[in-house]
Amino acid sequence: MGRLEGKVAIITGGASGIGEGTVRLFAGEGAKVVVADVQDARGEKLAEELGTATTYCHTDVAQESDVANAVDLAVRRFGRLDCMYNNAGFGGVSGPIDELDMAEYDRTMAVLLRGVYCGVKHAARVMKAQGSGSIVSTASVAGVGAIFGPHVYSTAKAAVIHMSKTVAVELGPFGVRVNAICPGGIATPIFGKGMGLTAEEADATIEPMKTVLAQSQPIRRSGLPSDIAEAALWLASDSSSFVTGQAIVVDGGITLAASGMFGGDRSALTPEERRQRFVDLLQGKG
């Protein structure tokens, strides 16, 4: 019997990277899964591959109506909602603070923070009535340290961590748990795109990316989507039934002994600088 047998989950950003890895693991452990993403072709293909217990729903998490629709679909098709995994994200706006593009700031925060609020809000309306549920959100080591990401990304992820704590206090009496996961360097195309690579470049450089990431923390291997998926699985399962309001760091120890992937603060790097430094590392020039 799988560890999520009989449970229903929604995974945003579920068509690729950490989200896809989590969809596959949850489905393999017996969960019925709604893959919520904007990558329609990938999401539909994944759902078709995994069978009738998995379905795809086009979901732009910055649009509350899309998130509400994904929650309604899960309940309508599978009868309940046991885990809401707010995982969708991207690198967002970057650069020195005095050059910050406020329109891009709004776009970044809409996905990274507002999107999480939408997921928590609409999961809560179902889970409170059920008297049970687990809400999990992807934060980041950038939310606990000041050298791991651009200003806006880091701020949003810190907010996700704290929001998980405050909402855990509210929802605990209803039997609903709320936690965050803080990944370190995970070798995914999304990580590469966050460093300024094109989608094609990011897909083609996963192996050298693993080599670069392996040199960045005490555990000398790259983080993998499966590492985060296993943490999400534990938080979604009954094995973590006494755990709420926590930010689980899954980073190979990078927050313990690192000065940043580029040897220092990269929060103020321009997109061009970040891309070039990352390309140099991929080519062994770092």
Instruction: Report, as residue numbers or ranges, the catalytic residues.
Output: 153
**Element holding 103 (H helix, E strand):** helix 102-109
Cβ(133)–Cβ(83) below 8 Å: yes
Distance CA 92, CA 274 (A): 13
What's the length of the chain?
Answer: 286
For 148, 183, 256, 261, the CA distances from 252, given in Å and listed in that order, are: 14, 9, 9, 13
Tokens, residue 141: 């080591």
For the stretch 82-116, what's the b/e string if a residue is b when 16 or more beta carbons lie within 10 angstroms of its beta carbon?
A: bbbbbbbbebbbbbeeeeeeeeebebbbbbbbbbb
Tell me how far apart the alpha carbons of residues 135 and 83 are, in angstroms, rounded to a whole number.
Answer: 6
CA 4 to chain centre: 20
Q: 248 - beta bridge partners?
A: 181
Helix axes 64-78, 115-130, angle to 10 degrees: 30
Q: What are the tokens at 167? A: 């909402």
Can you tell me the distance from the alpha carbon of 154 to that of 77, in angstroms, rounded to the nearest whole number? 36
Q: Are 216 and 266 in contact (CB under 8 A)?
A: no
